[in-house]
Structure 1
Amino acid sequence: MKKKIAVIGAGFSGLSAAAYLSKAGYEVHVFEKHEQAGGRARQFSTPEGFRFDMGPSWYWMPDIIESFFSDFGYSTSDFFDLVSLNPQFEMVFDSANFSIPESYEDLKLLFEGIEPGAASKLDKFMQSAKFKYEVGMRDFVNKPCHSWGEFLSPKIAFSALKLDLFSNFRSYVARYFSDKRLRTLMEFPVIFLGASPKEIPALYSLMNYGGYALGTHYPKGGFYQLVLAMQKVAQIQGATFHFNHNVEALEIKNNTITSLIIDGKKIAFDFVVASADYHHIETLLPEDLKNYNDSYWKNRTFAPSSLIYYLGMKSTIPNLTHHTLFFEPDLDEHIKSIYGDKKWPEKPLFYVCCPSKTDTHVAPKNQENLFLLMPVATGIDDDDKTREEYLLKMLKRLERHTGARNLYEQIIYKRSYCVRDFVNDYNAYGGNAYGLANTLRQTAVWKPKIKNQKIHNLFYTGQLTIPGPGVPPSIISGKIVAKEVINLNP
């Protein structure tokens, strides 16, 4: 008889785990409390004709995503059309605006024009970043991280010094570039990892390669097309999805989960893979069966939360690209507000995604779909008045950049999303948006364990465990956990 496995949560890691476990022959049931798959990557449509991706919008590391589909005999092209963006994005500074071109050779010309000699330095930087990417994303991140012994292979040991694990990212970038704008441009990708560049290991220059060198892409129809494709793959393997099903409790006997209580109904399972918030799942356990107590979580460094606005605009906005980063204020001041003072930033950095510049399916003709995101500290109060104040600040800067006028008056659809929404919708600890920061002390073996140490059939996957935050790492996380379950019970 097939072993029954419950996957709690249908985010990227849950979808991945469900697909691999189903392929291995298990009876897999995915329970998702929302009406659709995707977790933070859900999508919604409005009566006005707009379609909004709720979370991830940067399609980076396309080879990692492609490898998931190839494991099942598919390609992403079997499910959606992937567009390479040109420019990849625009970065706005006080002194100038820089469009990051699709072509790497054009990128070198841009660097050389900003700082003489920077083109050759970029080559050296990217050569090292490519090495880190190939070792890191193919060897390093695929470990279950039970112990450091997993990293004692000759290949990893030989590569250890080249991985720059013990250098911080900021000082590493400063070795190559002097211009502050170029440094900010190179530091920007690690913001996705949820900490200051001073706290992130230089290993993560692999992000620069995974983004700038491999390109920035967009799935036609929205990022949610990736969710639908992964769900379809899991279903083809045999996984069953149960939407609007909330896991309320775990029944445990003799250090083994025997069943889940789902909307008041008891259902027996042999294994449980928790793709929901790690801390939340542990609140469903008795104190003596948790991997970590409250003190542990309070002392972790969490990635930021975000203030997000989904805006439907009644007219198009000139001089705006698909992705635009507003970095006129000082990066460190904004970072300090997140990790030091834990307050709303005085001069915020923010990001604008305008997918309607690329995709006619996400907004009515001659109208615009805007996604505004501003990183903020976890745990802060986010009342509606404060949200609105920051919306006005962001729109004013967007007007200054594009030359558009009276953008607030152009809004025909508006929805905000912030700390309390992350808590309510995802049980996210402190309302975090991206999981744990990838600081050195929270890397690999030092991340929360993927297996409960006292309950033999409970596993964890997702952005709060290995390998870390981001879409490709979450997909990898699901695969790692599936392998662990299969190895335990082949």
Structure 2
Amino acid sequence: MNTVLASPALHRPRTKVAIIGAGPGGLAAAMLLAESGARVTIFEKDAVIGGRTRTLTSPEGYSFDLGPTFFLYPRILKEIFQRCGAELEAEVDLRRLDPQYRLVFESGGGATQLDCSSDLDRMQAELAKFAPGDAKGLRPFMAENRAKLDVFRPVLERAFEGPLDMVKWDMIRALPLLRPWSTVDRDLARHFRDPRVRLAFSFQTKYLGMSPFRCPSLFTILSYLEYDHGIFHPIGGCGAVSHAMARVAERLGVEIRLSSAVDRIAFEGRRARGVDCGGTRHDADAVVLNADFAHAAPRLIPDELRRDWSDEKIRKARYSCSTFMLYLGLDRPCPELAHHTVLLSEGYRENIAEIEGGTIPEVPSMYVQHAGATDPTMAPAGHTALYVLVPVPNLLKQPDWPAQTARYREVALDRLKALGLPDLRPHIRYERVVAPQHWESDYAVGFGATFNLSHELPQMLYFRPGNRFRDVEGVYLVGGGTHPGSGLPVIYEGARITTGLMAKDLGLTGAPSRPAAAGDLSAATPAAAYSPDR
């Protein structure tokens, strides 16, 4: 009889990974790690998955996304699904929006409206009616940013683990196009003279919680991506994407434990050995932290172990603005509204200065989503589920939010009249308010800074908390608080970077889930979609 000796590798226990948080980064990491052979358990403190990309529902039949409502550049997530043996289109019904959104510019007591399209011929014609001298700048802007993204893509697709990573060839090659001395607004001024047109191509910096007058010029790629690749609405809201990711993860063997708050990461010396949850130790070979970094790191990792990101440094870091949210279930339709509407106040620049200084704007700009314009599943027939977002100071800048919340609800409701809506108060059948203090207390967002650490150059790349957390061993980060940054597609890319490092460290069968062709723009990393995440 011939005896076949089994390889020792066949008897090696599967690598165990604990993931803290079932947000988009944690779900993407779980999918990739499970496909690579790891035994993955997600510990989620809430009773639902999705983190800030979750669905809120009411007994009256209204549904709302809690945070992200724009779904940009699905290609990265599509590649992750394909890597995991699934098809994004089969799991999620994505509808491309055209027009993408409506911009309403207040001026002199009136308003000018611009319906923005990813059809460049139509968009150029709209700009010609709106600001004739600027229409010719559209295509040069698109060409320049296509080249910028192509050059910067390798930087966004790799980890930054040491200072020397800042002077690798891809960074040197990217610097001339990055124009690090400039801002988004100043860079746009080379193409568009009308300040309203510049706002049309720069308000997207709000996805990062930043001002276009301070945000690094790299982020002109935000609006480029919208116009080149479109904006999508997942039927059922962006929360439907989280549920699809969870389904695929569970098919791959991932265990998702809801209502399971992690008390601390368990360490032996500086190495993570698992997590403590509800008085029970759960051993793991590695831990992925998907919770909000500023909120979670001080609670889960002892201060004495965090040399680069101590409690003091976390408190002194610069953070994004917060958001004041209204989720309104109305007993009337809202034909006055597009799917996405952005109201840009006449004092837009003053609004931003107020927010940065800690003053609550009294005539604020705002964003309104009327998902029912596309998706009948979000509200009962003849009703509307209205999502209202107002950028406001975070709790570090304005700690008095608990005393201001009721008053500011009235400010936000009154501002809706600027979009042609009547007083909606008599039509409200369901209402939920999420103010900055609620982001912190209910959703574990550090300092209520909805978009995480700000994306200024001193807090990007190597200067952001690392995907392989450098302060300790065996802890990895995903989410908006780590490289490459905030926004759903960027968070998905960050999950690919993090799990690639883990595959190398843990001996998993990790392989790139992106196309191999270096010059293929289809593999381009997108910039951020709006996500209080996110």
TM-score interval, smaller chain: over 0.9
Structure-2 residue corresponding to 1:317: 334
Aligned residue number for residue 431 of structure 1: 448
Aligned mate of 1:448, from 453, 461, 465 = 465
CA distance in 2, matches of 1:454, 1:164: 31
Q: CA deviation at 1:168?
A: 1.4
Is the contact between residue 277 and residue 426 of structure 1 (CA under 8 Å) also seen in structure 2? no
Q: Could you say which residue in structure 2 is the equivalent of 1:183?
A: 198
SS at match of 2:309: coil
Equivalent residue letter for 1:418: A
Q: Could you say if the C-alpha distance between residues 254 and 388 of structure 1 is closer, same or farther in structure 2, counting changes exceeding 3 Å?
A: closer
Structure-to-structure mapping, 1:222-371, within 5 angstroms: 222-279=237-294, 280-290=296-306, 291-339=308-356, 341-371=357-387
| Structure 1 residue aligned with 2:143 | 127
Kept after mapping to 2: 8 A contact 1:447/1:466: yes
Aligned residue in 1 for 2:479: 462
Distance in 2 between residues matched to 1:124 and 1:460, nearest whole Å: 37
Cα distance in 2 for partners of 1:305, 1:66 equals 30
Deviation track 1:22-69 (CA, whole Å, cap 9, x = no partner) reads: 111111100000111110111121111111111100111232332322
Q: CA deviation at 1:153?
A: 5.5
Shift of the 488–110 alpha-carbon distance from structure 1 to 2, 3 Å rule, reads same
Are the structure 2 counterparts of residues 292 and 105 from structure 1 closer, same or farther at C-alpha, using a change threshold of 3 Å? same
CA distance in 1, matches of 2:466, 2:408: 38
What is the match of residue 419 of structure 2?
Answer: 401
Q: Which amino acid aligns with 2:175?
A: A
- 2:208 aligned partner: 193
Q: Secondary structure at the match of 1:317?
A: coil
Aligned letter for 2:277? I
Corresponding letter in the other structure for 1:356:
G
Looking at structure 2, the residues matched to 122 and 56 of structure 1 have their Cα atoms a distance apart, in angstroms, of 27
Report if the CA contact (8 A) 2:92-2:234 is conserved: yes
8 Å contact 1:194–1:436 — kept in the other structure?
A: no
The alpha carbon displacement at 1:383 in A equals: 5.1
Q: CA deviation at 1:120?
A: 2.2
Q: Distance in 1 between matches of 2:86 and 2:274?
A: 34
Amino acid at match of 2:95: V
**2:148 and 2:245 mapped to 1: Cα distance?**
27
Asked if 2 retains the 8 angstrom alpha-carbon contact of 1:171 and 1:198, the reply is yes
Shift of 1:385: 6.4
Residue 145 (structure 1) aligned to one of 148, 151, 160: 160
Residues 274 and 287 in structure 2, CA contact (< 8 A), matched pair in contact too: no
Question: Please, what is the CA RMSD of the aligned residues?
Answer: 1.8
Structure 2 counterpart of 1:458, which letter? V
- Partner SS, residue 348 of structure 1: coil
SS of 1:41's equivalent in the other structure is coil
Q: CA deviation at 1:302?
A: 0.8
Matched AA of 1:350: M
| Contact 1:329 1:348 (8 Å CA) reproduced | no
1:464 is displaced (CA, Å) by 0.9
Q: What TM-score, normalized to structure 2?
A: 0.87
1:445, CA displacement in angstroms? 0.9
**1-structure distance, mates of 2:400, 2:330:** 24
Provide closer, same or farther for how the CA distance between residues 85 and 244 of structure 1 changes in structure 2, counting only shifts above 3 A: same
Does structure 1 conserve the Cα–Cα contact (< 8 Å) formed by 2:485 and 2:491? yes
- Secondary structure of residue in 1 paired with 2:360: coil
- How many angstroms does 1:384 deviate by? 6.2
1:195 touches 1:438 (CA, 8 Å); kept in 2? yes
- Matched-pair contact (CA < 8 Å) for 1:19–1:237: yes
Q: What is the alpha-carbon distance in structure 1 between the residues aligned to residue 319 and residue 485 of structure 2?
A: 11
In the alignment, residue 110 of structure 1 is paired with which amino acid?
Answer: E
* Alpha-carbon spacing, 1:350–1:54, altered in 2? closer, same or farther (3 Å): same
Match of 1:18 in 2: 30
Contact 1:314/1:367, CA 8 A, preserved across alignment? yes
> 1:78 is paired with a residue of what secondary structure?
helix
Deviations 1:408-431 (A, max 9, x none): 111000000021221123322111
The DSSP-based 3-state class of the residue aligned with 2:388 is strand
Task: Kindly tell me the number of residue pairs found equivalent between the two proteins.
Answer: 487
After superposition, give the CA deviation of every residue in 1:63-92 in whole Å (9 maximum; x if it has no partner): 233232233243321112111112211111
**Unpaired segments ≥5 residues, structure 1:** none
- Structure-1 separation of matches of 2:418 and 2:304: 56
Residues 384 and 282 of structure 1, relative CA distance in 2, 3 Å threshold = closer
* 3-state SS in 1 of match to 2:453: coil
1:53 corresponds to which of 50, 62, 65:
65
* Cα distance in 1, alignment partners of residues 178 and 253 from structure 2: 39
The letter of the residue matching 1:184 is L
Following TM superposition, by how much is the alpha carbon of 1:306 offset from its aligned partner in structure 2, in angstroms?
A: 0.7
Counterpart residue identity of residue 346, structure 1: E
- Asked whether the 8 Å contact 1:382–1:420 carries over to 2, the reply is no
Q: Report the identity percentage.
A: 27
1:259 aligned counterpart, secondary structure: strand
The superposition leaves residues 346-389 of structure 1 with CA deviations (integer Å, 9 ceiling, x where unpaired) of 22111100101111111000011100001111113465663343
Distance (whole Å) between structure 2 residues aligned to residue 405 and residue 485 of structure 1: 54
1:313–1:413 contact (8 Å) kept in structure 2: yes
Q: Which one-letter code corresponds to 1:194 in the other structure?
A: G
SS of aligned partner of 1:372: strand
Per the TM alignment, residue 242 of structure 1 is displaced from its structure 2 partner at its CA by 0.5
Aligned pair 1:392/2:441, yes or no?
A: no
How big is the shift at 1:157? 3.4
Please give the secondary structure, in 2, of the residue aligned with 1:40.
coil
Contact 1:437–1:469 (CA under 8 A) maintained in structure 2: no
- Say whether the 8 Å CA contact 2:303–2:311 is kept in structure 1: no
Q: Partners of 2:305 and 2:213 in 1: how far apart?
A: 36
- 2:90 & 2:151 partners in 1: Cα distance? 28
Query: What do residues 296-354 of structure 1 show as CA deviations (whole Å, max 9, x unaligned)?
Result: 12332211111101100001123211111111232221111222x21211221111001
Shift of 1:205: 1.2
- Once the two structures are superposed, what CA deviation does each residue of 1:82-126 show, in whole Å capped at 9, x if it has no partner? 111122111111241111124221111111222234222111111
Q: Tell me the equivalent position of 1:2.
A: 14
Measure how far apart 1:156 and its partner are: 5.0
Residue 99 of structure 1 corresponds to which residue in structure 2?
Answer: 115
User: Counterpart amino acid of 2:86?
Assistant: Y
> Does the alignment pair 1:487 with 2:499?
no
Amino acid at match of 1:315: R
- 1:197-236 equivalence runs, <5 A: 197-236=212-251
> 2:171, 2:468 → 1: CA distance?
24
In the alignment, the residues of structure 2 paired with residue 129 and residue 351 of structure 1 have an alpha-carbon distance, to the nearest angstrom, of 25
